[in-house]
A and B are shown apart, each in its own frame.
Chain A
Amino acid sequence: MPTLLEMPPEILTEIAGFVGFPEIFTLGQTCRDLKSFVDDLKLNHKLKSLSIRVSTDKMSLGCEQEDKKYSINFKKSDEDQFFKSLEQILKFQTSTLTEFFIEDPSPMPGFYCKMKIILESRPSLLKVYELSMKCKNQYQICSILSSLKPGTLERINISTLCWNKLKLNKVAKLDQWKEAKKLRIDGFTVSAHLTVLSSFQSIEVFSKTIFWTDLVMLKKLFLTTPNISRSCIIRYGCLIGENQWYKSLGPPTYEAFPCWEPYWKYFYPNSNGGFQIEWFYDFNDIRFETFY
C-alpha cells in the first residue's frame, strides 16, 4: 500500500498546496523526510496578517488566512525552526499584509538582524499596510521598515513599555517613513525634533518629555502647509517650557460650558480654513487639527 512518503515530489507539493497554515509546519515535524520537504517548499500562504512575538521562554507566530486565525508556538530551544518557519512564511508572501505586528520585549540576540536577512532575501519588498512594533530603539525599527514596500505602508505604530529614548534621525530618512500617512508612537521619550513627523497626515505621540520648542515647530509646520489636512495629538508626561509655550500661542479662546479648555484658532491667509490647537492641560494632551 503506498504511503504519503512514497508519493513523487510533485504530488507532495500538490498536497502541500492544500495544507493550510499551520498544518504545513506540523507536517514538517512528523519525520525527517517531510521536514526537509517542507523546508524546501516555496508556498505563498496569502496571509492577511502576521504577528511575531518573542518572549524570554517562547516565540510565537500568529497568522490570519482566509478569515481564520492560527498560531504556532516555539520553545526557546526551537529557535532555528522558528526562523525557518518565519522565512517560509515571509519569503513567498505576495499579497499585502493588512497588519504586520512584531513584539520583542526581551530582545533575542540577533533577532532583528535575522529578520532583516529574511526580508531582504525576498524577491521584492514585502507589502504591508500597517506595521506595529513593540521594540526598544531606532535600529530595530529601521531593520524592519527598510524592507517594506514604500507607498503600500500607510500606518506605523511604534510602542515600548519602558520610556526608552527614541531617536528618529535615521528612520525619518527612509521612503517608507516619508510615504506613510498615519503614525502612532507610544511610551517612548522621543529624542528628535517633531518636524520629523511632518510627512504624516495623522500623528499621535505619547512621549515622556516634550520640549516647548518642538511644539512651536509643529505649529509652524501647520502654518506653512495650508493645503494638507492633518491632525496631531501630543500626550506627554512632562512639558519642558510650559509657560513659554503658553505665551507663544497668543490669547486663547474658551469654549462655553461644559468645555472649559482653552483653544487657539489660526486662519490661513485669504481662506476660511486654518488649524486649531487645543490644550487639555489636566490630561497633558495637546491637539492640532486643520479645519476647512
Chain B
Amino acid sequence: MSVENAPVVDVDEAAIPVEKKMYYRFESNDKKEFRVSELAIQQSETLNRLVEAMGYTSEDVENKPAIAIENIDGKTLKLVFQWCEHHKGEAIPVDDGSVPKIVEIPEFDAKLMDIDNGLLFKLIWAADYLNIVQLLNVSCKKVANMAQGKTPAQLRRVYLLPSDEEDEAAKRAAQEAQDPRAREVEEEFEERKRQGGNSFF
C-alpha cells in the first residue's frame, strides 16, 4: 500500500467508508481531526491505554469531542496515524538491549519518512510521546543512517549541530539578550575602575 493510500483521513478532507469496527477521533494541537481504527491504535501504547480507560462506545466516539493530542501538530500526527494504519495488527517488537539494533526499514516506512529533517525529528518525538515502539525504531534508524561514513564536520551539517565556538557565541548572545542591563552595569563598573573609584556605589 502506498503512503498516499494509507487509510488515515483528515475529517475535513474525505468521507470515511463506514466499517463495523470502531474508529476513534483524535485532534492535533492545530485542530486537525483524524479517524483511526481500533486496531491501528494498538500500535501506540499511550493511545491504547487512553482509549481503554475512556471506555467509549461507538456512539461516544461519534458524539463526544475528538480526543485532543495537544503536543503534536496535524502534519506530524497524520504521518503517525498513516504509519499505525499500515502496520495495524503487527506484533510490537521487544528491545533486547543489543547494539546496534537490527531493524529493517520497510519500503512504506522509507517513503513515509522521505521528509525534511525538522519533520522527521517531530515524528520521532511523537513516536516517543505516543510510545509507538516500531515507529520510534525505524525513525531513529533513519536518523542514525545519516551518520554513516560522515566526518564530524559533515555530521554538524546533517544534524544542524553548532561547533563548540558557535555554541559559545550563541550562549553569550542569549545571555546578553536575556539581561541587557548586565552588560551596561559591567561597562559602568569598568569605567569607574578606570577613573580610580574603589566602590561602585
Binding site for B on A (CB under 8 A): 1-8, 10-11, 14-20, 23, 26-27, 29-34, 43-46, 65-66
Q: How far is the CB of A47 from chain B (nearest CB, A)?
A: 10
Beyond A6-B121, A31-B167, whether A18 also contacts B128 by CB under 8 A is no
B164 touches A20 (CB 8 A): no
- In the assembled complex, the Cα of A157 lies from the Cα of B181 at a distance in Å of 68
Beyond A10-B128, A18-B140, A66-B100, whether A23 also contacts B122 by CB under 8 A is no
Count, chain B residues at interface, CB 8 A: 36
B150 touches A26 (CB 8 A): yes
Surface stretch bound by A, among B16-24, B43-51, B152-160, B185-193: B152-160
- In the assembled complex, the Cα of A43 lies from the Cα of B98 at a distance in Å of 8
Hey, what's the 0/1 contact readout for B144-176 against A, CB within 8 Å counting as 1? 110111111001100111111001000000000
A7 touches B124 (CB 8 A): yes
Beyond A8-B128, A23-B150, whether A17 also contacts B140 by CB under 8 A is yes
- In the assembled complex, the Cα of A45 lies from the Cα of B128 at a distance in Å of 23
B140 touches A15 (CB 8 A): yes
Binding site for A on B (CB under 8 A): 97-101, 103, 116-118, 121-122, 124-125, 128, 136-137, 140-141, 143-145, 147-152, 155-156, 159-164, 167
CB-CB under 8 A from B128, the residues of chain A are 8, 10-11, 14
Partner pick for A26 among B137, B141, B143, B147, CB 8 A cutoff: B147
- In the assembled complex, the Cα of A44 lies from the Cα of B121 at a distance in Å of 25
Beyond A7-B121, A44-B97, whether A18 also contacts B159 by CB under 8 A is no
Partner pick for B98 among A3, A5, A33, A44, CB 8 A cutoff: A44
A4 touches B161 (CB 8 A): yes
Partner pick for A17 among B99, B118, B159, CB 8 A cutoff: B99
Beyond known contacts A4-B121, A23-B148, A34-B161: 13 more, CB 8 A cutoff? A3-B121, A4-B143, A14-B136, A16-B144, A17-B140, A18-B100, A20-B144, A23-B147, A23-B149, A26-B155, A32-B167, A45-B100, A65-B100
SS class of chain B's interface: helix, strand, loop or mixed?
helix
CB-CB under 8 A from A30, the residues of chain B are 152, 155-156, 159, 161, 163
Partner pick for B161 among A2, A3, A19, A46, CB 8 A cutoff: A3
A17 touches B161 (CB 8 A): no
CB-CB under 8 A from B149, the residues of chain A are 23
Sample 18 A-B pairs with CB under 8 A, ordered by A number.
Answer: A1-B121, A3-B159, A4-B143, A5-B159, A7-B121, A7-B124, A16-B144, A17-B140, A18-B137, A23-B144, A23-B148, A31-B156, A31-B162, A33-B167, A44-B98, A45-B100, A46-B99, A65-B100
- In the assembled complex, the Cα of A288 lies from the Cα of B103 at a distance in Å of 51
B140 touches A14 (CB 8 A): yes
A1 touches B118 (CB 8 A): yes
CB-CB under 8 A from B121, the residues of chain A are 1-4, 6-7
